[in-house]
A = this chain, B = another copy of it.
Amino acid sequence: MEQFLEKAKSASRIIATMSGSERNRILRQMAEALRVNTMNIIEANAIDMKRAEEENLATSLKERLLLDEKRIDAMAVAIEEIAALKDPIGRVLDGWVTEAGLKIEKVSIPIGVIGIIYESRPNVTSDTAALCFKSSNGCVLKGGKEAEASNAVIAEVLQSVLVRNNLPKEMIALLPDSSREGVAKLIKMDRYVDLIVPRGGEGLIRYVSQNASVPVVKHDKGLCHTYIDKDANIENAIAIALNAKVQRPGVCNAMETLLVDKAIAQSVLPLLKEVFDRAHTQLKGCALTREVIPVAAASEEDFDTEYLANILNIRVVSGVEGAIDHIVRHSSGHSEAIITENISAAERFMDAIDSAAVYVNASTRFTDGGAFGFGAEVGISTNKLHARGPMGVEGLTTYKYKIYGKGQIR
């Protein structure tokens, strides 16, 4: 493992000084190579699909695993889109002259070697490899066991382009030991790996963040809130609440708890019940909510639960301060929204809540790289440091100071 990572590290030093146009040219070749190898990839994917069948995997999992011509072309298009992004490397982020006359430039540079641990979808292999390559980073990929054959061929296809360009194939490396022990080792290798990005279930993420000595950018749970203020435009409020919950309940930026100002609870709760009933949402409410509409009782634990399902907690609160109190206690720091036409309430909410994304009059569902306009996304970080919220290629960079002197000493 150490020898393997040493190769990945030294390959990352080569890509670190490659020009943007060179990286983009190779990315476009990679997209083309995926298209050319469509049949090989589909054959490998058939092996994974067959095993999935034998092991009786869930239909949703099989659906995610499947690759066909259209999906492989989409992977190629994704790489081309990444190639078309602005180069995140070498940007001068700041610059000034010091009292001693030193000219300082703060310049964006790659992080080094990035370890990415993910599950099922084989397109993540080419997406993340391309994002790391675009940002001049080496990568070590560890995909899910169930997609092993597909991932191996996809990585080989990308590596063949590297080799054709006289570059070490370890710039895009697949972890050789993909067992749990392999992961356990990888996350301790801070000599060779500079960042770990775990994408996947809560268990994986907790394990990695508690055991890694390599820095981790977590993509943890989203326990998102929407607060309907007494001064809300009710039509907007209902549309946004419904969208935040039901448009795609299984994702991290979906709402889990709806907070309603007690000044309007009597009039708004029945309207909310109507639309959520129509959407087959299972509602749970606090005592005050249940005085107005007949729903199941929500426990304190419910308010700390990320359902990832069409289930919604409702709590009646005392104005914006009551909403802030609840959110501070229960939020995971991902995304929260206030629905109001009152600018003071909106600004108070947005100042007091320190979640990665704080909305006024919009759905929390907008928290992602695409909606933010970042292009491809590495994930949605729930870290408070380094990268917060939607993480584009810029999240895969750090910086150094270049200092120009003419003989200065202290």
A residues with CB within 8 A of B: 13, 16-17, 96, 98-100, 102, 104, 109-112, 194-195, 209-210, 213, 215, 233, 235-236, 239-240, 242-244, 247, 328, 350-352, 354-363, 365-366, 371-373, 383-386, 388-389, 398-410
Residues in B neighbouring A247, C-beta threshold 8 A: 409-410
Copy count, this protein chain:
2
Q: Is the CB of B404 within 8 A of A360?
A: yes
Closest beta carbon of chain B to A397's beta carbon, Å: 10
Q: Is the CB of B384 within 8 A of A385?
A: no
Task: Tell whether, in the assembled complex, residue B100 and residue A366 are in contact, meaning their CB atoms are under 8 Å apart.
Answer: yes
Give every chain B residue within 8 A of A233 (Cβ-Cβ). Answer: 407
Nearest residue, chain B, Cβ from A341 = B406
Which B residues lie within 8 Å of A111 (CB)? Answer: 384-385
Q: Across the interface, do B209 and A360 meet the contact criterion of CB distance under 8 Å? A: no
Bound-state Cα–Cα, A256 to B56, Å: 61
With A194-B384, A195-B385, A247-B410 already in contact, the answer to whether A354 and B112 are too (CB < 8 A) is: yes
Contact in complex: B371, A406 (CB < 8 Å): no
Closest chain B CB from A338 CB (angstroms): 10
- With A401-B358, A407-B239, A409-B243 known to touch, is A366 a contact of B102 (CB < 8 Å)? yes
Q: Which residues of B contact A17 (CB under 8 A)?
A: 351-352
CA distance A357 to B109 in the complex (A): 12
Contact present for B401 and A96 (CB under 8 Å):
no
State the 9 A-B residue pairs at the shortest beta-carbon distance, nearest first: A362-B405, A243-B409, A236-B407, A362-B408, A361-B405, A385-B386, A365-B410, A359-B403, A363-B409
**Shortest Cβ gap from A5 to chain B (Å):** 15
A13 to B, closest residue via Cβ: B328
Shortest A91–chain B CB gap in Å is 13
Chain B residues contacting A407 (CB-CB under 8 Å) are: 233, 235-236, 239-240, 361-362
CA A96 – CA B371 in complex, angstroms? 12
Task: Known A354-B112, A403-B358, A403-B360; judge A409-B371 contact (CB<8 A).
Answer: no
Q: Which of B16, B359, B366, B410 contacts A366 (CB 8 A)?
A: B410
On whether the beta carbons of A372 and B239 are closer than 8 Å, the reply is no
Given contacts A100-B366, A363-B408, 6 further A-B contacts (CB under 8 A): A100-B371, A102-B371, A239-B407, A358-B400, A371-B410, A388-B401
Q: Which residues of B contact A351 (CB under 8 A)?
A: 17
What separation, in Å, do the CA atoms of A401 and B372 have in the docked complex?
Answer: 10
With beta carbons under 8 angstroms apart, the residue of B13, B328, B409 that contacts A240 is: B409
A358 surroundings in chain B (CB, below 8 A): 400-403
Q: How far is the CA of A13 from the CA of B321 in the complex (A)?
A: 13
Instruction: Give 16 A-B contacts (CB < 8 Å), ordered by A residue.
Output: A16-B352, A96-B373, A98-B372, A100-B371, A112-B384, A236-B406, A239-B407, A243-B409, A247-B409, A247-B410, A355-B400, A358-B403, A366-B410, A371-B410, A388-B400, A389-B400
Chain B contacts for A363, CB-based, 8 A: 405, 408-410
